Amino acid sequence: MRKFALFSLLSLVVVALLLGLTWQAEAKGNRIEDLTAYEYDCAIPSTFNPTFSGNTMRIRDYVHVNINESASPYLHGINTTVANAEINLVKGTTSIRGTMLLEPEAFDGAWQGHWVFIANKGTVFGWAVGHGTGDLKGMTLFMNLYDAPQAEDAVEKCATVSYNGEIGVPEETFTHTEGYIVLSGLSPLLEDGR
């Protein structure tokens, strides 16, 4: 009986592994890969209201209206973010997180989601996940976020966006994004055969 139970358990493990590999191969086939964008990070100054507690600066509801430039129609558009942060003023460690609403110009829809950015001991890295709405329904966007140098035309670009009538101002650094999209069975792109 013990050998039968062990054999049954091992069989279940093998079947589970095979199903997992099959699922991964199928998911890989339902992906749009190698998406990149350069994001002009345009802050709305009146929403920057930090508070201080000891060595920590806290920021709440800091709005940015960012311009994403990309060869991909999935990322080219306006990304409105709302950020919350904790910054240790002595150690320099930073944790920033928030919401995003990336509205690509080519689609009647948006990526709604969350992001996080961490800076600690010289390492700066972030992630974002957005779920598609409208034309993008049934799709999920996954992005890695990296600091990028500010572009020479930063002031001019940020002057083209506003929030509640206030014009955007460029941040010291901008963002380079790399990512991919996973399409679920609900995606109109799968139904259209694209």
Residues of the chain short of pLDDT 50, as ranges, are 3-27, 191-194
Q: What is the pLDDT of residue 6?
A: 40
Q: What is the pLDDT of residue 121?
A: 83
Listed by start position, the domains of the chain span: 33-185
Q: What is d(CA 49, CA 60) in angstroms, rounded to the nearest whole number?
A: 7
Q: What is the pLDDT of residue 190?
A: 52
Q: SS3 string of the chain?
A: CHHHHHHHHHHHHHHHHHHHHHHHHHHHHCEEEEEEEEEECEECHHHCCCEEECCEEEEEEEEEEEEEECCCCCCCEEEEEEEEEEEECCCCCEEEEEEEEEEECCCCCCEEEEEEEEEECCEEEEEEEEEECHHHCCEEEEEEEEEEECCCCHHHHHCCCEECCEECEECCEEEEEEEEEEECCCCHHHHHCC
Q: What is the pLDDT of residue 70?
A: 98
Q: What is the pLDDT of residue 186?
A: 60
Q: What is d(CA 73, CA 60) in angstroms, rounded to the nearest whole number?
A: 31
pTM: 0.80
Q: What is the pLDDT of residue 23?
A: 43
Q: What is the pLDDT of residue 165?
A: 97
Q: What is the pLDDT of residue 103?
A: 98
Q: What is d(CA 113, CA 91) in angstroms, rounded to the nearest whole number?
A: 29
